[in-house]
Amino acid sequence: MNPCEHKVQYYETDGMGIVHHSNYIRWFEEARVDLLDFLLGRGGFVYDRIEAEGYSGPVLEVACQYKTMSRFGETVRIEATITQYNGVRMTLHYDVFDKATGEVRCTGDSRHCFINSDGHPAILRRCWPEFDAALASHVTAEK
């Protein structure tokens, strides 16, 4: 899978001309959506199908460790990997790099669970085995 790339927009910066810290979390989401599109698309699915099938994956927790600053006009590369998955919960790790220099901008993690349209936990192995298999096959070692 190709990493997600994002060109830093002016509106994402603060009064010091650097990216406001909250935007990195948004970039994590962009990379997560790209990863799921890649995984689900290979199995004949699209990301929107998760919700169409009656499921969602809300965020339980997110953490970000800021290393260096991103600035307007730069392009960043966001790599997302699934580090844990048990059929109901999933943890992803993110590495954000400056595309031109390779310098690490930040790292982070997010935890999610899968729920059905009634808000109850969804055990994907039982209710959506194809999606479960796609996620399980892409778990990498924890970072």
HSE-CB at 45 with a 13 A cutoff on CA atoms is 24
What burial class does residue 38 get, using C-beta atoms within 10 Å of its C-beta: 0-12 exposed, 13-18 middle, 19+ buried? Answer: middle
Report the pLDDT value the prediction gives residue 78, as an integer from 0 to 100: 98
Tokens 């929107």 belong to 48
> By the 8 A CB rule, do 45 and 131 touch?
yes
Summarize the confidence of residues 108-124 as an average pLDDT.
Answer: 96
What was the pLDDT predicted at 88?
95
Instruction: Please give the share of the chain, as a percent, with pLDDT higher than 90.
Output: 80
Position 45 confidence tier, pLDDT thresholds 50, 70, 90: low
Interatomic CA distance for residues 139 and 34, integer angstroms = 16
Q: What digits encode the pLDDT tens for the residues 68-100?
A: 999 999 999 999 999 999 999 999 999 999 999
For residue 64, give both structure tokens. 């970000």
* Percent with pLDDT over 70 in the chain: 94
Tokens of 100: 């031109």
